[in-house]
Amino acid sequence: MKSAKTSKAWMKEHVNDFFVKQARKEGYRSRAAYKLKEIAERDQLFKPGMTVIDLGAAPGGWSQVAIEKIGKNGKVFALDILEMPSLRGVTFIQGDFSEEAILREFKTCLGNCSIDLVISDMSPNIAGIGVSDHARSSYLAELALVFSREQLNPGGNFLVKFFQGSNFDQYLKDMRASFKKVVVRKPKASRDRSSELYLLGLEKIC
């Protein structure tokens, strides 16, 4: 019974959410689009003609923002374990980013493209067990950081979702070893009760 009440409360909040309404009005697939838009505007993430990687892309809100910002001469490569309806200008591969075979397939898809920006909104299925959920989300963030180190151009940028917890300080330290500057962002579209933050690594060190 408690679970049913919680679900109803969440649905009511979701339906009345400003960013949910705004996403429907403006044609974005998720309210998460506004998280990226705010960070992108503040930190000038996008430039026309860029090549962008979107990890944890489904349902496609971040890819929509990216392709709008980089224009017809830019490219977006997206990956998610869930299916994502097609978007013009976005090359999508469905698969588990933590599986070596999928990662190889994705890298093959990239070919010799020069990568300017990696954005990652990946999150595991939340089980409601704090320690376990944090460990699983941290693992995905770590994989995204390794990928960025390997694939980004020198001077490229990396934006990743990370949940506050015991691994936060170490992850921040690891990012600072790979980028000239690392900043923490909490966009308005990120609910206050959520422990999610976004870490932005600027200018990858060679």
Residues with active-site annotation: 161
43 annotated ligand-binding residue: no
80 annotated ligand-binding residue: yes
Q: What is the DSSP letter of 190?
A: S
Q: What is the DSSP letter of 64?
A: H
169 annotated ligand-binding residue: no
10 annotated ligand-binding residue: no
Greatest alpha-carbon pair distance for the chain in Å reads 55
Instruction: Determine how β-strand 152-163 pairs with β-strand 179-185.
Output: unpaired
Helix, strand and coil content of the chain, in percent to the nearest 5, comes to 40, 25, 35
- CA dihedral sign of residues 73, 182, 43, 134: positive
Say how many C-beta atoms besides its own lie within 10 A of residue 68's C-beta. Answer: 15
Q: How far, CA to CA in Å, does 130 sit from each of 89, 127, 138?
A: 38, 8, 12
List binding-site positions: 60, 62, 80, 96, 121
List binding-site positions for S-adenosyl-L-methionine: 60, 62, 80, 96, 121
